[in-house]
Amino acid sequence: MTRAHRVAVIGGDGIGPEVTRAALRVLDAAERRFGFSTSREELPWSSARYLEGGAAVTPAEIDALRRFDAILFGAIGDPRAPRGVVERDVILGMRRRLDLFVNLRPIVAYDDRLVPLKGKRAEDVDFVVVRENTEDVYTQTGAITGSGKDQVAEAPMRFTRPGIERVVRYAFELARSRPRKHLTLVDKSNAIPVQQLWRDILEEVGTGYPDVERDAMYVDAATMWFVLKPERFDTIVTTNLFGDIITDLGAAICGGLGVAASGNINPGRTSMFEPIHGSAPKYAGRGVASPLGAIGAVALLLRHVGEREAGDAVERAIRDRLRDGRVKGVEAGAQRTDEVAEIIAEAVSAP
């Protein structure tokens, strides 16, 4: 019997649908080579749907995603919709309602020419950020109250012990599986004393991982070391907000938003995979966006559904074709979207 996986496909807005389509061609190639199958269902959640007068997506529709093993997501965001509304409903909606508490963001440079840091090479940029994905100031609570000079904008930065514990444990497991076995907590517990809870839990959980070396760093310092000494990092665990910020910088030091991918994961349950880039409306429909982020998301998705070998093969195909120059770059316009997909799919089929 062939292994079968159920995959929901949400192209979304802007370049989302075209990079997703390109990534599915690579998934086709992986299926043929590694002997598994997927059943795919496309879901039309988008800003267009919102602008037509409905909701981009309803909570019940998100809950119904549980029938899938994984979700491949493109991008969301449209300048014609009010800022943040559709992003909140779709992306944050999936993260919260499906309890996708890990946001896994590999910061891996595939080729020397993609590293913009002076004196650094691809081998210097090879780490992974585990971003907590359900708590912090992302819980959509808080309000602007009062009027005139008395206006106050307030939103709680809220962390729960179970919320921290589960993501710290995940990060220790991941660090243990990597050759360097080193975990760094990134926080701001000097200025935000409640973040001491993260340090306490790092120590508690860490006693169960004596083989994993651990340390902690303030987020401002971390941004500096990303640029000056990226090779010092192996596995990072951090809060939702800081994880959001440092992973854009992380994407930049490994080549830009065009190549970075992320997994929104609840281990063993329906999880969602997406490129880090957004909908890039100005490139939409032109066939010039880089599909590498979406293809990287397919690699992460494959590992999640148990197709590790296939996931590794997709990642290797991206690296090899960037290194030999057949994939010319990661920025929009470097090459046609379809052409890149074809080259990677071929490399997956016949390495």
Beta-carbon contacts of residue 82 (< 8 Å; ≥ 6 apart): none
Strand segments, DSSP code E, in the chain are 3-12, 36-42, 70-75, 102-108, 126-132, 143-145, 152-154, 182-187, 213-218, 235-238, 261-265, 271-275
CB of 84 to ligand IPM, least distance (A): 7
Residue type, position 162, single letter = P
* Residue whose C-alpha is closest to residue 68's, from 92, 100, 22: 100
- Choose between 266 and 335: whose C-beta lies nearer to ligand IPM: 266
CB of 78 to ligand IPM, least distance (A): 12
Beta-carbon contacts of residue 350 (< 8 Å; ≥ 6 apart): none
Q: Is 188 a residue of the active site?
A: yes
- Check residue 331 for interaction with ligand IPM (CB under 6 A): no
- Asked whether 167 and 183 are in contact (CB, 8 A), the reply is no
CB of 65 to Mg ion, least distance (A): 21
- Choose between 235 and 240: whose C-beta lies nearer to Mg ion: 240
* Residue whose C-alpha is closest to residue 163's, from 222, 87, 247, 237: 237
Q: Which candidate in 110, 170, 188, 283 is catalytic?
A: 188
CB of 246 to ligand IPM, least distance (A): 10
Q: Is 110 a residue of the active site?
A: no
Binding region for ligand IPM (CB under 6 A) out of 30-38, 86-94, 327-335, 343-351 = 86-94
- Output DSSP code: residue 111: S
- Output DSSP code: residue 259: T
Binding region for Mg ion (CB under 5 A) out of 43-51, 78-86, 103-111, 238-246 = 238-246
Beta bridge partners of 327: none
Given 31, 87, 126, 315, the residue binding ligand IPM (CB under 6 A):
87
Query: In whole angstroms, what separates CA 265 from the centre of its chain?
Result: 9
**For residue 321, what are its two tokens?**
């074709």
Given 244, 338, 339, 346, the residue binding ligand IPM (CB under 6 A):
244
Binding region for ligand IPM (CB under 6 A) out of 13-21, 61-69, 84-92, 337-345 = 84-92
- Choose between 263 and 311: whose C-beta lies nearer to Mg ion: 263
Beta-carbon contacts of residue 332 (< 8 Å; ≥ 6 apart): 258, 280, 283, 288, 289, 290
Binding region for Mg ion (CB under 5 A) out of 118-126, 162-170, 239-247, 318-326 = 239-247
- Check residue 88 for interaction with Mg ion (CB under 5 A): no
- Asked whether 257 and 276 are in contact (CB, 8 A), the reply is yes
Phi, psi of 331 (to 5 degrees): -85, 155
Binding-site partner at residue 78 among Mg ion, ligand IPM, none, CB < 5 to 8 Å by type: none
- Check residue 91 for interaction with ligand IPM (CB under 6 A): yes
Q: Which candidate in 63, 112, 215, 248 is catalytic?
A: 248
CB of 271 to ligand IPM, least distance (A): 14
Binding mask 241-260 vs Mg ion (x if CB under 5 A, - otherwise)?
---x----------------
- Choose between 247 and 337: whose C-beta lies nearer to ligand IPM: 247
- Rounded CA-CA distance 167/32 in Å is 35
Pairing between β-strand 182-187 and β-strand 235-238 as defined by DSSP bridges = parallel
CB of 92 to ligand IPM, least distance (A): 6
Q: Is 328 a residue of the active site?
A: no
Binding-site partner at residue 87 among Mg ion, ligand IPM, none, CB < 5 to 8 Å by type: ligand IPM
With 0-12 CB in 10 A as exposed, 13-18 as middle and 19+ as buried, what is 338?
middle
CB of 160 to ligand IPM, least distance (A): 19
- Output DSSP code: residue 82: P
Q: Which candidate in 50, 138, 209, 283 is catalytic?
A: 138
Helix (H) or strand (E) holding 225: helix 219-228
* Residues found near Mg ion in the complex (CB under 5 A): 244
Which amino acids are annotated catalytic? Answer: 138, 188, 220, 244, 248
* Residues found near ligand IPM in the complex (CB under 6 A): 87, 91-92, 244
